[in-house]
Structure 1
């Protein structure tokens, strides 16, 4: 592969909008294992939130995808592959990025929502406890001004 071709491929995979319009690969070999990537991502995205039991599986998949992306990128950077192989690697890197974007979009937003819900529930329990402890079970506001 020529130097300008290598730079062109690297620019393509590192472009900010590289994943726009890109498809998630149906299958991909990650760490020597064939993965039904498209099915996995769509299965996880179908849910409103990632269930607690699935979080570790999703985090492990993201780590493996990042590692695989880095290895493929390194092969292009080293320039030890043909241009055709480099193009194939670049396309797969963009597909991996697309899958990672989809999986990352689930993570923090769901965790934030869960944390907010947990905090609201904690506040509600705390207020109920205080009202009960202080003997103010009545939550109506009509008790002001009464002795």
Structure 2
């Protein structure tokens, strides 16, 4: 593979928008084991949040996907593959990135819930400030007697 082709592939897999419009691969081979990646991701995403019992499974899947991504990226970086092999690896890497994005998105609360949580925290801080500023609460958290 020519150097400019290698650089194009690396730019493609590292581009932030590379996963836009890309589907999660149906299956992927990780460390010699075939994984039904799409069904796994959809099974986990179908729930509102990841149950505690599944958290380890999801974290392990993310670690394995990151490791597989690096393993597939290295031959491109080291220029150890043909153009065709590089294209196949790049497509697989982008599919892995798409799955990782979906799994990473599970950790973040939806924007509406996060906004409500933030508003409640801001209101609590403001009330505590007002109480202290008006002298209605001492430093120990108890009420000041008049």
Q: Tell me if both proteins adopt one fold, taking TM over 0.5 as the criterion.
A: yes
Alignment of 1:1-147 (within 5 A): 1-109=1-109
1:109 deviates by: 2.6
1:32 deviates by: 1.6
Distance in 2, matches of 1:109 and 1:91, equals 29
Distance in 1, matches of 2:37 and 2:68, equals 13
RMSD: 1.8
Distance in 2, matches of 1:68 and 1:107, equals 21
Q: Deviations over 1:78-128 (max 9, x none)?
A: 111111010000000000000000000002438x97xx7xxxxxxxxxxxx
Distance in 2, matches of 1:33 and 1:27, equals 10
Moved segments of 4+, more than 4 Å: none
Q: Deviations over 1:40-89 (max 9, x none)?
A: 00000000111111000000000000000011111110111111010000
Normalised to the residue count of structure 2, the TM-score between the two structures is 0.74
Q: Which has more helix, going by share of residues?
A: 1
**Gapped regions of structure 2 (runs ≥ 5):** 118-146
**Gapped regions of structure 1 (runs ≥ 5):** 117-147
Distance in 2, matches of 1:37 and 1:78, equals 27
Normalised to the residue count of structure 1, the TM-score between the two structures is 0.73
